[in-house]
Amino acid sequence: MNLLAEVRALFQPALAAIVPDATKVPDFLAMIRPAQDAKNGDYQANFAMPLAKLLGRNPQKVADEIIGALPTNDVIASVVVAGPGFINLKLRDDWLAQQVQAIATEPRIGVSPTAHPRTIVIDYSGPNVAKPLHVGHLRSTIIGDALTRLLRFLGHTVITDNHLGDWGTQFGILLYGYKHHLDRAAYEQDPVRELARLYVAVRKLFRQATEEDDEGATDDPVKTACQQETAKLHAGDPENVALWQQFMPHCLAEIQVIYDRLGIQKFDHILGESFYNPLLAGVVESLLAHGQAVESNGAIVVPNAAGTIPQTPEEMKKQEPPALIRKRDGAFTYTTTDLATIRYRMETFRPDTVLYVVDFRQSLHFKTLFAAANRWGYTGTEFQHLSFGSVLGADGKPLRTRDGGVPELGELISQAVALGLEKYEASVAERTAHGHDVPELTEATKRDIAEAVGIGAIKYADLSQNRTSDYKFDYEKMLATEGNTATYMQYAYARCRAIFRKGEIDTARFRTHPPAVQLTTSQERAVALQLLRLSESLEVAAADYLPHLLTAYLWDLCKAMSRFYDECPVLTAESPELRDSRLLLVDLIGRTIQQTMELLGIRVVEQM
């Protein structure tokens, strides 16, 4: 039950009759959208002006003609032309009521799988292993996980692949540390801790510690030694390869602890950079053999999308760079690995779409990568870089720990959970003081709530921002009990459940034999409309891969819910029929919150 699609379907024949070019009809249908201001109606159609322009006619007349050609239906209550030709329409209350009753029996509460399922590979998280996960890994991991859940729910075949950085210069640091500074007893007891310690300790020995792994020439002896260890590993040195194999399971286990705590779904594939190492030479050969790559100043490059290789500083300023796939010293690059990855994925999964959930700083990398892939012949597939902004501190600068380091993810999570518990206990005290019913919960349940609240807060704060923007990591804001936060949604859900507990009512009947729905007030109607908008909201969020449209939907739903509770008694409604109808709305609100939160990867709890 997609409301928007229903409305568009009604306009389809009328538009088809008047639009001269049939292929343009969908463009005009797309101009039917939810009303910006509920005062004007439920949906608005903005196609009359552009259509009138195309036809050389008066927009109001065109709007009138289309309205006149609408088929008789029991969906639309009123349709009026406003201003220069805006069409505002309102749906019938009885029709809305019937639809709400109908979705109550559906496990998917009115969301049908897509008519056009695609095979989508999604590349996300991809941390560089062997160093502790830090805040920079948060966004890719949770945005990727949420999009996977959403796209799967809509019926697409989604293949998740964690493109680990498991072959980089950080291993040189570990190898060097292991050989020169290992605390063997500590390693035997807790290898993950000891490797993390070694990484940090060796980095501190670098003369000029820089954030980036600088692969270039250096006069720093420790750094040079580390680079040599990396080079030996890449050249297949048996000792280093054996150590790498020994380190890897520990590195993976450490990452897994964080994934589990964050509730990240299991990846279908974890094919890191090391997996592609044996395939890199073949990539360069293939591109050279077909003339798609050329030699340039001793290196091998694939020309940019325009087919050129800028040389002079002037040209470099104006044109895209080529893709560098083999350096002058013979080394392959991040791009070479990504090209090998594309080839492997195309041959193995045959995707329609490949999505990369990666930091905006890699925009240029993906631009040149996709251009090179096209040149290589992969033209039938949609490649998209789903870029995202930075996580900032309260001061608007990149988030830092007190000593200036990058905060570790595990610590941020623990902090959020600890604050979540504090907040929760404060809310219990406050609600008790106000004489509200507050459930008596065991310590274990309270800890579980704190976990759901703390982790939910981090995830929701991130997902509720348009992913392309930066946002400030602010515990106070993300854990607020009022506003567009996970905590608020979790309370809203628990409140729905509490009504059934308080009334000692089983929800089963409302899902198998839903009662008739009565929309006697504007608040009930607003809730009904919002419940029925789930499907269109999921589709809009999926179309541009924007999870914040799901949180926006939840926020609208909870605002409608709150007005409904303020104005409409549920357990003490005037008649048993009205009580049943309102209980059905409450149950559906709860189910819808739970479902949408699940698509975001955020847990709700039954009592709070």
In the complex, which residues of this chain contact ligand ARG (CB under 6 A)? 123, 126, 128, 163, 165, 338, 341, 356, 358
HSE-CB at 8 with a 13 A cutoff on CA atoms is: 18
Q: Which one, 97 or 358, has the nearer CB to ligand ARG?
A: 358
What is the amino acid identity at position 274? S
In the complex, least distance from residue 391 CB atom to ligand ARG, rounded to whole angstroms? 15
**Helix axis angle, 522-532 relative to 534-543, nearest 10°?**
40
Q: Which one, 123 or 229, has the nearer CB to ligand ARG?
A: 123
Q: CA–CA separation, 135 vs 143, rounded Å?
A: 13
Q: Which one, 141 or 227, has the nearer CB to ligand ARG?
A: 141
Q: Which one, 194 or 338, has the nearer CB to ligand ARG?
A: 338
Q: CA–CA separation, 83 vs 102, rounded Å?
A: 36
In the complex, least distance from residue 359 CB atom to ligand ARG, rounded to whole angstroms? 7
Q: Which one, 327 or 447, has the nearer CB to ligand ARG?
A: 327
In the complex, least distance from residue 245 CB atom to ligand ARG, rounded to whole angstroms? 20
Judged on CB neighbours under 10 Å (0-12, 13-18, 19+), 254 is buried
Q: Which one, 128 or 336, has the nearer CB to ligand ARG?
A: 128
In the complex, least distance from residue 168 CB atom to ligand ARG, rounded to whole angstroms? 8
**Cβ atoms 87, 66 nearer than 8 A:** yes
Q: Which one, 165 or 454, has the nearer CB to ligand ARG?
A: 165
Q: CA–CA separation, 110 vs 171, rounded Å?
A: 50
**Helix axis angle, 548-567 relative to 486-502, nearest 10°?**
40
In the complex, least distance from residue 338 CB atom to ligand ARG, rounded to whole angstroms? 5
Q: Which one, 126 or 514, has the nearer CB to ligand ARG?
A: 126
In the complex, least distance from residue 376 CB atom to ligand ARG, rounded to whole angstroms? 16
Report, in this order, helix, strand and coil percent for the chain, each rounded to 5: 55, 10, 35
In the complex, least distance from residue 355 CB atom to ligand ARG, rounded to whole angstroms? 10
| Residue among 453, 467, 399 at smallest CA distance from 140 | 467
Q: Which one, 170 or 464, has the nearer CB to ligand ARG?
A: 170
Sheet holding 353-359, edge to edge: 157-161, 119-123, 353-359, 382-388
Ramachandran region, residue 223 (left: φ > 0; alpha: ψ -120 to 50; beta: rest): alpha
Written in H, E and C, the secondary structure of 260-286 is HHHCCCCCCECCCHHHHHHHHHHHHHH
Which residues sit opposite 383 in a β-bridge?
Answer: 354
Q: Which one, 1 or 164, has the nearer CB to ligand ARG?
A: 164
The single-letter DSSP state of residue 23 is G
In the complex, least distance from residue 71 CB atom to ligand ARG, rounded to whole angstroms? 49
**519 CB neighbour count, 10 Å cutoff:** 20
In the complex, least distance from residue 124 CB atom to ligand ARG, rounded to whole angstroms? 8
Q: What are phi and psi of 211, to 5 degrees?
A: -65, -45
In the complex, least distance from residue 193 CB atom to ligand ARG, rounded to whole angstroms? 22
